[in-house]
Structure formats: C-alpha cells, structure tokens
A and B are shown apart, each in its own frame.
Chain A
Amino acid sequence: MIIEFGLYALVLSLATAIVLSVLPAVGAWRGDANLMAVAPVAALGQFVLVTISFGVLMHAHLVSDFSVANVWQNSHSLIPTLYKVSGVWGNHEGSMMLWLFILSLFSALVALFGGNLPASLKANVLAVQGWISAAFILFIVLTSNPFLRIFPPPPEGRDLNPVLQDVGLAIHPPLLYLGYVGFSVCFSFAVAALMEGRIDAAWARWVRPWALAAWTFLTAGIAMGSYWAYYELGWGGWWFWDPVENASFMPWLAGTALLHSALVMEKREALKIWTVLLAILTFSLSLLGTFLVRSGVLTSVHAFASDPSRGVFILAILVIFIGGALTLFALRAGSLTAGGLFAPVSREGALVLNNLILTVSTATVLIGTLYPMALESLTGEKISVGAPFFNLTFGLLMLPLLLAVPFGPLLAWKRADLLGAAQRLFFAVAAGFVIAIAIWYFENGGPVLAVLGIALAFYLMVGALTDLWFRGGFGKVPFSTALRRLAGLPRSAIGTAFAHFGLGVSVLGIIAVSAFQTENVVEMKPGQTVEAGGYVLKFEGMKRGQGPNFTEDRGTFSLTKAGVSVGQISSSKRVYMARQMPTTEAGIRTFGLSQFYVALGDLMPDGGIVVRVWWKPFIICIWFGALIMMAGGFISLSDRRLRVGAPARRAKKVAAPALEAAE
C-alpha cells in the first residue's frame, strides 16, 4: 500500500510541476502578480511530493520489501543498513529519483531564498525549473518506474552490485548530483533572463552563488568518485578518462568558466552574452552527461542495465532543452547590449583567457568522448580514444592557463600592469623551482620534466598566497596590521586564494604520482619480501574470512622501513554470495601525503600469489587539493556580497560601497 502511495505522490508531483511550468510564466508575461505568486508555492509543493515519493522508495529498501522489483534487483536482506540506503540510488531508477529529488530541492531553495529577485524573474526561473522537473518526472513514470511490483514476492533479493557496496556510493552520487543538477538553476536563470530580454550586473550577482554552490559540490563529487575508483577497483589509477568520468568533468570545466565570467559580468557588466551562453552550455553538458550515462550508449560501471526506449526519451529531453535554450539565445542575444570596455591586459582580459582555455579544453574532451560514438553510428567502425589522447590535448592546452592563474587576482580591472604582477610573482617562481629541485633530489632523480611540473605546482600555490600577501601588506606594515587587513578582506578573495592554492596542490599530486610512482607485479610466497618507495613489504600469509554477504581470502603483509616495523597492510579477494561475483579489495596505507598500495592477484598452483605493489608519492595531494578548492568555494559562498538576499540589504548600508572599492 505504502509503495502505491509513493507512486501516487510522484504522479501528483508531475501535476504540480506542470502547474509550475505554466502559470508563473503566463503570469510573468501578463504581469499578473497572483499567477506569479503560484511559483514558490508550487515549487515547494513539488519538493514535498517528490520527497515523500523518494522517502517511500528508501523505506522499501530499508525494510527489504522484495515485492518491489527495484528492491529485489538491487538489495539483499543481509547487507548492512548503510548499503540498503545507498542502494536506493545504486541503480538506474533510483538514481533518476535522486536526480529528481535534488532538482526539486534546488527549485525549493530558489523559492525560499529568492526573496530579493524581481517577481517576474523569480516566476520565470521557477517555471523553467518546472519544465525540467516535468520532463524528468515524466521520464521516470513512463520508462523508469521504481515502484513496479512483482508477484509473488521473491524471498530474497539479488544483492547490490558488490563494486557498489562501499561507503563511496553513499557520498559520491549525492555530491555529484548536487553539482550536476545545481547548474540547472543557472540554466533557468539564463533562460528566464532571455525570456525577459533584460540582463544586467544584478543578474550575475544572483546567479553566482548558485553557480558557486553547484561548482563546489561538483568538485567534491568528482574528487570523491576519483578516490573511490582508486581504492575500489584495485587498478591503482585515479582517473581513466572514461566517458562517464568525462561526462562529469565537462560540466565542471564549463562551470569553472561560468564562475569566472559571471565575475566579470557582475563587476564590469562585460561578457554578458557570453555568460548567459555559458550558463546554458554548462547545464547542457550536465544533461549530456545524464544522457551518456543513463541511455546505455556506454558500457561502464555507472551504466546499469539499460533499455533503448530510455535512451530515446533522454535524447528527446536533451534536444528539446538544449535546442530550445540555444534557439531562444540566438533570437535574443542580438538585443543584449555589450558592456564595459577593457584593455587586453587587465583582470577582465585574464578572465577572458581563463574562459577561452577552459571552453576549448572542454571542447577537446567533448570531441574525444563523442567521436568514437559518432564514428560508430556513421561508419560502424569501432575505435577507442584513450588516456593518451586526453593527456596530450587537454594537458597541453591547460598548461598556459596554469601559468596564468596566479596573475589573475594580481591584475587590476580595466587596465593592468603585467610587469608589476610578474615582479610580485618572482618569489613564487623562485620558490617553485627551489622546492621542485629539492623534491627531485629526495626522490633520487626522475624525469627532468617532473622538476618543471613540480615547480609549476608550487608556483601555483605560492602564487595564490602572493595575492593575499600583497593585499594584507605583509612586510610593509606591522605584522598585526597586515593580519587584521587579511581578516578584513572580502571572503571571496580568500576563497579565490584557497581555490587557486588547491589547484596547485592537485597539480602537485598529479605530477608527482605520474613521475615518481613505482609499480611491481611479483609472485610472492609467505615470508618473501618486495621493496618499494624505501619500504620493505613482507608477505605474512593468507587467511579465509567471512563477511555478512561475502567470503574472502585475505592476504596479510607487514611493512618495515630501515628495519623498523611501520604497520600492516591487508588486501583480499572477495566473492559475493548472491551474485557469485569476485572483487579485489586493495590494501592501502598512508604515510604523510604518500600511499603504499597493494592488490592481490591470482593464486598460483605452487601456493604463491601474484601481488601488485605500488608506491604512490604525494597521491593524497590530488584529492586534498580538491578539498581545498571546495573549502574555497564555501568560504566564497559565505561572503556577504554573494549570500542570497544580501545585495538588497547591503544597498541600504553606507559603509558597503567603500568595502567594494577596496577590492
């Protein structure tokens, strides 16, 4: 009964979404305040209904109600409660429900916190959110109903895919979707503004917090997914340029560009048309990602069993929304006025460079991802475009951007002094090289290119701090005054420094791991040792074990450094009972920023076991950098100027303009 209630709530939410799609837009068009006032109510109502529906599905998973096909296919009575919860979105239907839930959440947030928006803009934004919601609810109800029953109810479920039985599944998809779907708000703002035909700096101020929030969550989601794949798959890799990874990376790149161009638009009223286009493109890439992952055109861990009608449906959604928005853009873009002027060497110029490089890089990733599919559907020829393609194109294209990043915050708006900025960065460059050569020395050599790469990473880090150093006036004024000035800086400046610093930390991890990691594949018998990264790994032996829903062969190893024991590592091969599916659990030990990574291979007939041993120096930096970027995002979000609702209040204050002038 409760299951049918969930479906009923979902269908009702469709009705609400349709109301939300139509009435407020008509109201905004006719200037009817009553119709526009429907928007927040309908958005909140839709959120409540979708939440009920999602809650019912979660309840069915929690109590293991195997009369529901979705629960039967993706759960098991014996799995831990955490996996029963995360199993809700560990399948196609459930993950679409999560998508919808987060979309409705964002609509509700706009309804709640959009109090300072002009009534007609708010009504239109929510109406566009309503269109997207209606399309996706329709998709779920027609092709991916999670509430389908089976009769007679089977006694036991078929288990969640063992690879997904991990805490990563509880964290990665919700964070990723908060990012992916969060960009829908930027899209809706863009479409609403185009419908009204009026875009100004205030629009950018309203959009930026949403873009920033979505970007922050997407950063966290991608980093989390990368770490999960790293430890779960047992391949020791952290990024595979797999189409599904690219699907989440492209909105991130475009979203990063959007954040920066919205800054120009907010401060200087320039790049208006471009910013609106980027807002549309970013969410279009999110939709494209959803299509790639959900339609079954790809084979990957993320593409659960698929059915062609779904692919066609999502493709239709894709075409209607992207095509519609771009058509509207083409019709209206001409009537938008161009904004402020600036010299090529200026803060604006630097941000234009950022946008140019980010969008071109996004385009190369897009080409590399779609080309094999296009070629196959046109000629039937099957090719694969792998990591070498992306490393060569994306890697080289991003290089100038990385060099330019520390310059950005040091340049003044309108017209800047490039030489002055370069002089200020001299210390960053010098520090980068000194540290890089030191690391190179301690790692006992390695490719000379690695020195340049590591110097680049430290240049990014020190460069990010350089901006704060000069703004605080360290070295010129007393230390305490400088600290006070630093604390008084706008949070967005500190957030920027964090994000740029985090980028440097990630680059350091990527370069160091690529240059200095060691990999050994050896056959080991108990008592034998292998050396990596200065540590000696000794195989202690194998032991059988039993988990709640799997059996495992666990290999235990001890680690010593210079004869001193530093701990144990164990890696296991598991067989999950319900599906009779084997997995490898890697053994990882962290030493500072580096990791020792052990994965078991096959048992040999003579009693030995194949072991794969990696030493991964500085690898933690890759994800740690993403965490710092995320922190930067949150710090920037807490800036009063950006906080939703703040601009209206600030306008009344007298002190505020002075603060802005100081930036």
Chain B
Amino acid sequence: MTRKQKRLAIISGGVGFIVVAVFLVMFAFSQSVSYFYVPGDLAKADVKPGTRIRLGGLVKTGSWVRGEGTTSTFEVTDTLSTVKVTYTGILPDLFREGQGVVAEGAFVAGSPVFVADTVLAKHDETYMPKDVADRLKAQGVELSGKEKIK
C-alpha cells in the first residue's frame, strides 16, 4: 500500500467507528433517557403507561402504608397535587414522611398508581433533591429544608 492508501485505510476505519458510536448514542438516548416530573406536571404532560419517568416531590405526611411483605405505598406531593406510589423493596434510610423523594418507575395502564422500582432519598440530613427543590420553587412553594406538609 502507498502512504496515501494506508492513511486512507486508517482514517476511514476511524470515521466508520465514530459514525457507529454516534448512532449508538442516539439510539441509547431514545431508549433510556427518563424525564423528571413533579405531580403537578403530570396532568399537563401526557405520560404514557410504561414510559419510564422519575417522579419527585415530598412524601405526604400520614400517607406511608406498609403492605404485605416488603411492599409499601405512599403519596408524593408537590403541595398542589398528589400521586399515589407503590414500591416493593427496601426504602432508603433517609426516606421519611414530609421529606423529599425521587421515585423511578412507570404508570401501569388503567391505573393512576405509579409503580416505582427505585426510590431515592439522599444521604444528607437536610436533603431535598435539587430537581425537586427547583421545580417546587418554580411552582411557588417555599421550602425551608425541614418541610412538614399536612
């Protein structure tokens, strides 16, 4: 091979690989990106059953009920509207009523209950997930960090 051909072989191989990578990234984004909502958004946004989303807000005081085995239900609220959530598994140490939470999962067709497969609450005592705090603030809810929501 001449010098030019060698260079061409290397460059076209490289460009080919990059093109594959770009398509892969675009495909992965279309498959696995999940959007973040607070309960108030859900009425406006048309979230289809089965679409993975992250639902954030505060755990409504008095709503946490342990069911059979390791299943719990609780309500996530942004103080304006609430959504009922069920979760099977161990809730994080910092999961408490009246404090911030992010639940990942999806709605099941024909039911208003959100089925979470992951529940996050951060490892800091005064934690309010940043996503939740920003969104709640945008909705006019003032937060002090130690929320008590009735």
| A579 in contact with B35 (CB, 8 Å) | no
Q: Which residues of A contact B25 (CB under 8 A)?
A: 364, 367-368, 393
Contact of A205 with B by CB under 8 A? no
Q: Which residues of A contact B122 (CB under 8 A)?
A: 299, 301
B1 proximal to A (CB < 8 A): yes
A-B contact number at CB 8 A: 111
Q: In this assembly, does A522 line the interface, its C-beta being within 8 Å of a C-beta of chain B?
A: yes
On whether the beta carbons of B24 and A396 are closer than 8 Å, the reply is yes
A476, CB-defined interface residue at 8 Å: no
Roughly how many angstroms separate A201 CA and B94 CA in the complex, as a whole number?
Answer: 55
B24 CB contacts on chain A under 8 angstroms: 364, 392-393, 396-397
Tell me, yes or no, whether B109 is within 8 Å of chain A by CB: no
**Across the interface, do A356 and B17 meet the contact criterion of CB distance under 8 Å?**
yes
A278 to chain B, nearest CB (A): 15
Closest CB in chain A relative to B79 CB, distance in Å: 19
Q: Summarize A's interface: helix, strand, loop or mixed.
A: mixed
Residue B70 contacts which of A396, A599, A610 (CB distance < 8 angstroms)? A610
Cα distance A582–B95 in the bound complex, in angstroms: 10
Q: How far is the CB of B26 from chain A (nearest CB, A)?
A: 10
Binary CB contact string for chain B from 61 to 89 against chain A (1 if under 8 A, 0 otherwise): 00000100110000000000000000011
Between B1, B66, B93, the greatest number of chain A beta carbons within 10 A of the residue's beta carbon is seen for B93
Asked whether any CB of chain B lies closer than 8 Å to the CB of A386, the reply is yes
Whether B34 lies near A383 (C-beta < 8 A) is yes
Assess the B32–A392 pair: CB atoms within 8 A: yes
Which of chain A's residues 574-589 have a Cβ closer than 8 Å to chain B?
Answer: 579-584
A128: min CB distance to chain B, Å: 30
B124 touches A343 (CB 8 A): no
Contact A389–B88 (Cβ < 8 Å): no
B137 smallest CB distance to A (angstroms): 13
Q: Closest B-chain residue to A612, C-beta based?
A: B90
What is the CA–CA distance of A342 and B25 in the complex, to the nearest angstrom?
32
**Interface bits B16-39 vs A (CB < 8 Å: 1, else 0):** 011011001101110111111000
A241 to chain B, nearest CB (A): 11
Known: A367-B25, A382-B135, A389-B28. A521 touches B90 (CB 8 A): yes
Q: Which residues of B contact A356 (CB under 8 A)?
A: 13-14, 17
Stretch of A14-22, A435-443, A540-548, A601-609 on the interface side: A601-609
Candidates B29, B31, B124; contact of A161 at CB < 8 Å? B124
A477 CA to B131 CA in the complex, in Å? 66
Q: How far is the CB of A371 from chain B (nearest CB, A)?
A: 8
Q: CA separation between A599 and B91, bound complex, in Å?
A: 12
Cβ–Cβ contact B90 & A610, under 8 A:
yes
The 0/1 profile, CB within 8 Å of B marked 1, for residues 160-173 of chain A is: 01010000000000
User: What residues on B are CB-neighbors of A301 within 8 Å?
Assistant: 122-123
> For the complex, what is the distance from the CA of A29 to the CA of B133, rounded to whole Å?
53
Question: Is residue B44 within 8 Å, beta carbon to beta carbon, of the partner chain?
Answer: no
Annotate A435-456 by CB proximity to B: 1 below 8 A, 0 otherwise. 0000000000000000000000
- In the complex, chain A residues whose CB is within 8 Å of the CB of B131: 382
Report whether B28 and A582 are in contact in the complex, using a CB–CB cutoff of 8 Å. Answer: no
Give the CA-CA distance A612 to B125 in the complex, in Å.
24
A367 proximity list for chain B (CB < 8 A)? 25
B125 pairs with A384, CB closer than 8 A: no
Q: Which of B25-58 contact A (CB under 8 A)?
A: 25, 27-29, 31-36, 54
CB pair B13–A344 under 8 Å, yes or no, is yes
| Nearest B residue to A601, CB-CB | B90
Is A573 interfacial (CB 8 A cutoff)?
yes
Q: Is residue A200 contacting chain B, with contact meaning CB distance below 8 A?
A: no
Look across to chain B and name the residue whose beta carbon is closest to the beta carbon of A580: B125
0/1 string, A479-522, CB within 8 A of B gives 1: 00000000000000000000000000000000000000000011
Smallest Cβ distance from A581 to chain B, in angstroms?
A: 5
User: Are A381 and B70 touching (Cβ within 8 A)?
Assistant: no
Among A359-418, those with CB < 8 Å from B are: 360, 363-364, 367-368, 371, 381-386, 388-389, 392-393, 396-397
Contact call A521/B88, Cβ cutoff below 8 A = yes
Give the CA-CA distance A327 to B6 in the complex, in Å.
Answer: 30
A331 within 8 A of partner (CB) = no
Judge whether A40 is part of the interface by a CB distance below 8 angstroms. no
Contact-residue bracket for chain B: 35 or more
- For B3, list chain A residues within 8 Å (CB): 341
Residues of chain A within 8 A (CB-CB) of B88 are 521
Taking the nearest CB of chain B, how far is it from the CB of A397, in angstroms? 6
A392 to B28, CA, bound (A): 7
CA distance A304 to B14 in the complex (A): 41
A182 at the interface (CB under 8 A from B): no
Chain A hits for B21, CB < 8 A: 360, 363-364, 393, 397
- How far does the Cβ of B119 sit from chain A's closest Cβ, in whole Å? 11
Residues of B within 8 Å of A521, CB to CB, are 70, 88-90
Min CB–CB distance A57 → chain B (angstroms): 23
B130 CB–A CB distance under 8 Å: yes
User: What distance in Å separates the Cβ of B130 from its nearest Cβ neighbour in chain A?
Assistant: 5
- Cβ contact of B31, chosen from A388, A396, A397, cutoff 8 A: A388
- In angstroms, how far is the closest chain B Cβ from the Cβ of A342? 8
A628 within 8 Å of B by Cβ? no
- Cβ contact within 8 Å between A523 and B36: no
Closest chain A CB from B89 CB (angstroms): 5
Q: Take A299-B130, A388-B31 as given contacts and tell me if A343 and B93 are in contact as well, using a CB distance cutoff of 8 Å.
A: no
Contact B1 A386 (CB under 8 A): no
Residue A389 contacts which of B9, B32, B66, B134 (CB distance < 8 angstroms)?
B32
CB closest residue in chain B, given A381? B35
**Quick one: closest B residue to A380, CB to CB?**
B138
Question: A605 and B66 in contact (CB under 8 A), knowing A341-B3, A349-B10, A384-B54?
Answer: yes
Q: Which residues of B contact A385 (CB under 8 A)?
A: 29, 32-33
Q: Is the CB of B69 within 8 A of A383?
A: no
Q: Which residue of B lies closest to A346 (CB)?
A: B6
Q: Are A344 and B9 in contact (CB under 8 A)?
A: yes
A199 touches B (CB below 8 Å): no
Instruction: Known A364-B25, A392-B28; judge A383-B36 contact (CB<8 A).
Output: yes
Residue of B nearest to A297 (CB): B130
Min CB–CB distance B97 → chain A (angstroms): 13
Instruction: Give every chain B residue within 8 A of A223 (Cβ-Cβ).
Output: none
Contacts known (A382-B36, A397-B24, A601-B90); A360 close to B17, Cβ less than 8 A = yes
- Cα distance, A413 to B4, chains bound together (Å): 19
CB proximity to B under 8 Å, residues A278-301: 299, 301
A298-356: which residues lie under 8 A (CB-CB) from chain B? Answer: 299, 301, 341-344, 349, 352-353, 356
Can you list 13 A-B pairs, Cβ within 8 angstroms, ordered by A? A161-B124, A342-B6, A360-B18, A368-B25, A383-B33, A384-B54, A389-B28, A392-B32, A522-B69, A601-B91, A602-B90, A605-B66, A612-B89
Beyond contacts A392-B31, A581-B94, A601-B90: 12 other A-B pairs, Cβ-Cβ < 8 A, are: A233-B123, A344-B6, A383-B35, A384-B34, A386-B32, A389-B31, A579-B125, A582-B93, A583-B93, A584-B93, A602-B66, A604-B66
Residues of A bordering B, CB below 8 Å: 161, 163, 233-234, 299, 301, 341-344, 349, 352-353, 356-357, 360, 363-364, 367-368, 371, 381-386, 388-389, 392-393, 396-397, 521-523, 573, 579-584, 599, 601-602, 604-605, 610, 612
